[in-house]
Structure 1
């Protein structure tokens, strides 16, 4: 990767971290410049559309990072859906306990705020959410579920995993992720 791509990725990573804690409206360009130790000109070189363009690209970047992690570290553990999603919930609990950034929280915050920011960011948020649900659906098909069952279960899993993660973030503990893990055998017959 070239130096130019390294700096661009540095901006994306730092911005994702800041957005995950403060959201779009709570984050200023100067804060990003300070976190990346770059001048304003460098920022606008990579993101001529400013903070709004950055937000769209951070959303895509965070989603792609999350998908890579899910495919590599989660989906590869088994072809049994209960095992896979149980492992996912344990993995999320572990990450949460270590206070790592959550790509899914960046996506959530940006998605919630996107309706107030721009149509472009709103469209990208919608695409990301649709792709995320499709990711779960395809894994369920790989685990042997029919197309119809996979479509229904993927929406249920997506909603419950995502909701549990948000709840854990608000409560600052992992109890809801663990409760959901106990319910998986009943959710995925």
Structure 2
């Protein structure tokens, strides 16, 4: 159910993920939703966002740790995200952005889970930039810039149904980070 909910949230946002659709996608009877998630759709959405966040954190962490440089790691992560989006017919992008973009219709705990996901990714980038020798303040600023750029490229990719925005960002990462 969590995986099905994560996919629905990514495609449709919180308001677009109806209970009947969530149950159908998760192949679960109605009673099981409230049995496993006493907080209903809201609790399921929070847990789905946490699972999606953990997956992106793992992906990003692996690429940043295994690469010979920050830019190379980010490029590999961007390629994997673009591949994933393309395979879904550009229905997927960032697993939390659809929730954030529909935040007016999203309960506070669900919005907070999305914000926490973004914060954890920014923290991961900040730590990696610190390892490059930047100050704490400069690392935080550049991590925010990089994360904003990635989120924007993923949004543009979905809107244009093309991986070009992510590929263009990938080419500009070195200049964006100015790690000379």
TM-score greater than 0.5 by the shorter chain = yes
Cα drift, residue 112 of structure 1:
2.4
Contact 1:165–1:177 (8 Å) recurs in 2:
yes
Contact 1:79–1:142 (8 Å) recurs in 2:
no
Contact 1:23–1:106 (8 Å) recurs in 2:
no
1:139 alignment partner in structure 2: 128
Contact 1:78–1:84 (8 Å) recurs in 2:
yes
Structure 2, unmatched stretches of 5+, are none
1:5 alignment partner in structure 2: none
Q: Give the TM-score, by structure 2 length.
A: 0.88
Please say if 1:121 is aligned against 2:129.
Answer: no
* Greater Cα offset, 165-174 or 61-70: 61-70
Q: Which ranges of 4 or more aligned residues in structure 1 deviate by more than 3 Å?
A: none
Q: Distance in 2 between matches of 1:124 and 1:36?
A: 21
Contact 1:115–1:122 (8 Å) recurs in 2:
no
Contact 1:12–1:58 (8 Å) recurs in 2:
yes
Cα drift, residue 76 of structure 1:
2.6
2:69 alignment partner in structure 1: 80
Q: Considering only aligned residues, what root-mean-square deviation do their CA atoms show, in Å?
A: 1.9
* Greater Cα offset, 29-38 or 109-118: 109-118
1:30 alignment partner in structure 2: 20
Q: Distance in 2 between matches of 1:156 and 1:98?
A: 27
Cα drift, residue 96 of structure 1:
2.2
Structure 1, unmatched stretches of 5+, are 1-10
Q: Distance in 1 between matches of 2:60 and 2:176?
A: 20
